[in-house]
Amino acid sequence: VQLQASGGGLVQAGGSLRLSCAAAGRTSFNSVIGWFRQAPGKEREFVAAIRRGSGNTYYADSVKGRFTISRDNAKNTVYLQMNALEPKDTAVYYCAADNNMIQSSIRTSRMYAYWGQGTQVTVSS
């Protein structure tokens, strides 16, 4: 599975961005696509994830209510709509996928087999 992330940029605090993650290759009904982010000097952290078949979504507490993850299975693309952005959201955002993800591992980056390149999101104050 190849993943292509896009949509990052520079935005003022309170603004919005939409990230896209286009997947190519074999995915399954049970596949999970997740978004992670990594700020300078910090560990990579879970942001959100969605299960391809059921559409079930999962969020980090820090983004709940501000970010929305969605998918378009026809386009094999997952979106991350980010609203009310804050400077602390500044990071490189990565999308990741796995075809055999169990629910208890969804928030764990090392459990994802496939990764896209990152896209930079910078939120100015």
On the question of pLDDT at 27 being above 80, the answer is no
On the question of pLDDT at 93 being above 90, the answer is yes
Residues 31-52: what's their mean pLDDT? 96
Three-class SS of residue 125?
coil
Q: How confident is the model at residue 29 (pLDDT cuts 50, 70, 90)?
A: confident
Q: What is the pLDDT of residue 70?
A: 97
On the question of pLDDT at 4 being above 80, the answer is yes
Largest CA distance in the chain: 41
Q: Say what percent of the chain tops pLDDT 70.
A: 100
On the question of pLDDT at 16 being above 80, the answer is yes
